[in-house]
Amino acid sequence: MTATATTPTIHGWLARSVSDIAVITRRNLLFTVRLPQVLVLSSVMPVIFILMFTYVFGGAIQNALPPAAAGRYVNWLLPGLLAQFALFGGATTASGLAEDLAKGAIDRFRSLPMAGAAVLAGRTLSDLVRLALTLTLMLAVGYGIGFRPQTGLPGLLGAAAVGLLFGYAWSWVMALLGLLVRTAEAVQAATYLVVFPLAFTSSVFVPTQTMPAWLQPFATNQPVTVATNALRGLVLGPGALPPGRTVASQVVLALLWAVAITAVFVPLAVRAYRRTVR
Amino acid sequence: MDSAIIEAEDLVKVFGGKVPVRALDGLDLTVERGGVYALLGPNGAGKTTLIRVLATLLEPDRGRVHVAGIDVRRHPAEVRARIGLAGQYAAVDDHLTGRENVEMVGRLYGLPRRQARRRAIEVLERIGLTQVADRQVRTYSGGMRRRLDLAASLVGRPQVLFLDEPTAGLDPASRRELWALVGDLVEGGTTVLLTTQYLEEADQLADRIAVIHNGQDRGPGATWLGHPGGGAAPAARRRRHPRGRGLAQADPGRRVPRPDRTARHHAQRQRPQHP
């Protein structure tokens, strides 16, 4: 018995690709379950953030809240944190790839007759699953401390969908980062250098109207703000948005950003992957 | 009929950067089917680069390469179905068990789940890791990790097995264990091409040794140096590896030369021998 030779049919190729992607996705998800540090990052950190921001900053920011938040900071905060953890989730994408490169796992995969796309596709897909689990956990904890979506279930599901799409697009950016930076420690640093400024100059924690005038043009229009506004609008209604913006426009814009980021960064990541030869 | 399982001609690979490095500089190589071949050379000689080119991980800048009769540059996927690779670092996943690692490789070879499971059991038994198969690899010793890596490289029943510095970093006992394993592998017709910087390792494992230095080939023909009485390898083990046709038969009185920078031995193309 020799190993399966390449099947000439499109159907065969597709079936093999799907199988390979599934194998890699499962492998990556097992990292999350079996390695304590990844589990902590995905679960404990989001919970700490929700609790810390609600109880430490909630009182002070109360006065800046729009009425759509129904007087609760957690209502205003949670959609923002969903966006932020979609960003942070990418840290594992980057470091996972960098580690795979360093340890020779990528070499092993490259020497196998498997679909080349499966490594990156499996990595981003496993991170999407992880993000979905993180979001579920955050919603559960948020609900426990008073989060109530003002627009009911459809709004909540819409927000989850937008959040996941945005997170998926972002994971390709982080995949590229991991492939370019390559060493695990440098990747951590690079991730925070990229994620923190984006998160803090967005509407995740505070309304962008409260930021200094020189920062506002960037802050109001950057993709994290748009995504956060879309999530908030979907969950709390139009009153939660800065004046002059509608929920529909922010949602469409957020989706456009997701598509654009994916369209730009998937080819870049694939090219970087092909070039990772030592 | 050409029975060479590896044929490389005029291989050139230059790595860019501030100071470009000519890792392979017009190298020729021919390996016949069956047996263990060792590429011996110091660090930086180009051994790893050569293995990576042969295993489809790296595209050469120039040159023809055929492995198992297939053009490596045109049909890399088909080459991959016929080779196994155990690189310098044991590329196994710490968080998976030994069995899960090997099963995963089986699935990536295209084996359905049940076959991958059966193949994993076979291979783990052959390598002697059945007892620890269900422990996570992070609990394994260095020698066990290497053996698992070797097991993973065997899953696809490769025609050619590439071993890049298979015992680097191992203690003497683990090293000897691995040598014994490699010796067994050649039964069944697998050709093994390994690289090493240790003459003793080449001596122990290989039927044929070629010295590679500076990735260069300056001569007209290659000589795979035969394995005369030198080394501690018992004669009985060597008899299990029949020598292929047309290989250079070394004079039993001549010793295998050591890598000698002043003498500049190079891996060169095989010249056909007349019986």
Side-chain-side CA neighbours of residue A206 (13 Å)? 16
Q: Residue A58's pLDDT is what?
A: 80
Catalogue the long-range contacts made by A47-53 (C-beta closer than 8 Å, 24 or more residues apart): A47/A137, A47/A138, A47/A141, A49/A81, A49/A84, A49/A85, A50/A74, A50/A77, A50/A78, A50/A81, A50/A138, A50/A141, A50/A142, A50/A145, A51/A141, A51/A145, A53/A77, A53/A81, A53/A205
pLDDT digits (tens, 9 = 90+) for B225-266: 654 433 333 322 333 333 332 223 333 333 344 443 333 333
- Contact call for B108 and A109, based on CB within 8 A: yes
Q: What residue in A sits closest to B152 (Cα-Cα)?
A: A108
Task: Kindly state whether A277 is in contact with chain B, defined as any CB-CB distance less than 8 angstroms.
Answer: yes
Find the CB nearest A113 among B81, B87, B96. B81
pLDDT in tens, B62-71: 999 999 999 9
B109 touching chain A per CB within 8 A: yes
Whether A23 has its CB under 8 Å from any CB of chain B: the answer is yes
Residue B188 contacts A, CB cutoff 8 Å: no
Task: Give the separation between CA B28 and CA B31, rounded to whole angstroms.
Answer: 10
| Entry field: residues in chain B | 275
> Could you tell me if A135 and A127 are in contact, meaning their C-beta atoms sit under 8 angstroms apart?
no
In this complex, is the C-beta atom of B85 within 8 Å of any C-beta atom belonging to chain A? yes
Contact (CB<8Å) A27/B77: no
Instruction: Give the 3-state DSSP-derived string for B153-171, with helices as H, strands as E and coil as C.
Output: HHCCCCCEEEEECCCCCCC
Distance (Å, rounded) from C-alpha A204 to C-alpha A227? 9
Residue A270, both tokens: 């694939």
Whether B270 has a pLDDT exceeding 50, the answer reads no
Q: Which residue of A18, A32, A108 to mutate against B (max B Cβ within 10 Å)?
A: A108
Percent over 90 (pLDDT), chain B = 41
**Residue A145 burial by CB count (10 A; 0-12/13-18/19+): exposed, middle or buried?**
middle
Tens digit of each residue's pLDDT (9 = 90 or more) over B94-115 = 999 999 999 999 999 999 999 9
Beta bridge partners of B86: B163
Whether B31 has its CB under 8 Å from any CB of chain A: the answer is no
CA–CA min distance B80, chain A (Å): 5
The pLDDT, as a whole number, for residue B185 is: 78
Nearest to A31 among B81, B95, B110 (CB): B95
CA distance A253 to B270: 65
Residue B235: predicted pLDDT = 29
Instruction: Look at A27 and B104 and tell me if their CB atoms are within 8 Å.
Output: yes
This prediction has a pTM of 0.82
The alpha carbon of residue A186 is apart from the nearest alpha carbon of chain B, in Å, by: 21
Q: Over chain B, what is the mean pLDDT?
A: 78
Chain pair A-B, CB pairs under 8 angstroms: 87
**Mutation to test the B interface, candidates A27, A111, A276, A277, most B Cβ within 10 Å:** A111
What is the Rg, in whole angstroms, of the alpha carbon atoms belonging to chain A?
A: 20
* Alpha-carbon separation of residue A235 from A80, A163, B181, B187 (angstroms): 11, 12, 62, 67
User: CB A113 to CB B95 under 8 A?
Assistant: no
Q: What is the pLDDT of residue A203?
A: 87
Q: Which of A23, A110, A277 is facing B107, going by the closest CB pair?
A: A23
Q: Which helix (H) or strand (E) holds A261?
A: helix A247-274
Helix (H, G, I), strand (E, B) or coil at B172: helix
Residue B150 phi/psi, 5° resolution? -65, -45
C-alpha–C-alpha distance, residues A147 and A155, integer Å: 14
User: What is the predicted pLDDT for the residue at B42?
Assistant: 82
**Residue B56, min C-alpha distance to chain A (Å):** 7
Average pLDDT, integer, range B189-196? 91
Nearest residue on chain B to A12, judged by CA atoms?
B110
ipTM comes to 0.84
Question: Whose CA is closest to A84, among A192, A185, A186?
Answer: A192
Model confidence at B55, pLDDT cuts 50, 70, 90, reads: very high
On the question of pLDDT at B120 being above 70, the answer is yes
pLDDT of residue B94: 93
- B122 CB near a chain A CB, below 8 Å? no
Q: Which residues of A touch B104 (CB under 8 A)?
A: 23, 27
Pick from A112, A126, A278 the residue to mutate for testing the B interface (most B CBs within 10 Å). Answer: A112
For residue A111, the model assigns a pLDDT of 92
**Which chain A residues touch B111 with a CB distance below 8 Å?**
3-4
Any residues with CB less than 8 A from the CB of B231 and at least 6 apart, and which?
B200, B203, B204
Residue B143 has pLDDT above 70, yes or no: yes
What is the model's pLDDT at position B145? Answer: 93
Pick B158 or B253 by higher pLDDT: B158
Mind listing the pLDDT tens digit of every residue in chain A (278 residues)? 444 454 467 788 889 999 999 999 999 999 888 888 777 877 888 889 889 888 888 887 777 777 777 778 888 889 999 998 888 888 889 989 999 988 889 999 999 999 888 999 999 999 999 999 999 999 999 999 888 888 888 989 999 999 999 999 999 999 999 999 878 788 888 888 988 899 889 988 888 888 899 998 999 889 999 999 999 999 988 888 887 788 899 999 999 999 999 999 999 999 999 887 65
Q: What is the pLDDT of residue A185?
A: 83
Rounded to the nearest angstrom, the minimum Cα separation between A268 and chain B is 19
Quote the pLDDT of residue B230: 34
Q: Are B225 and B38 in contact (CB under 8 A)?
A: no
- Assess B168–A contact: CB distance below 8 Å, yes or no: no
Question: Among A3, A109, A110, whose Cβ lies nearest the Cβ of B157?
Answer: A3
Whether the Cβ atoms of residue B138 and residue B168 lie closer than 8 Å to each other: no
User: Among B146, B4, B143, which residue's Cα sits nearest to residue B68?
Assistant: B4
Rounded mean pLDDT of B74-85? 93
The per-residue pLDDT for B247 is 29
Look at residue B43 and tell me whether its pLDDT is greater than 90: no
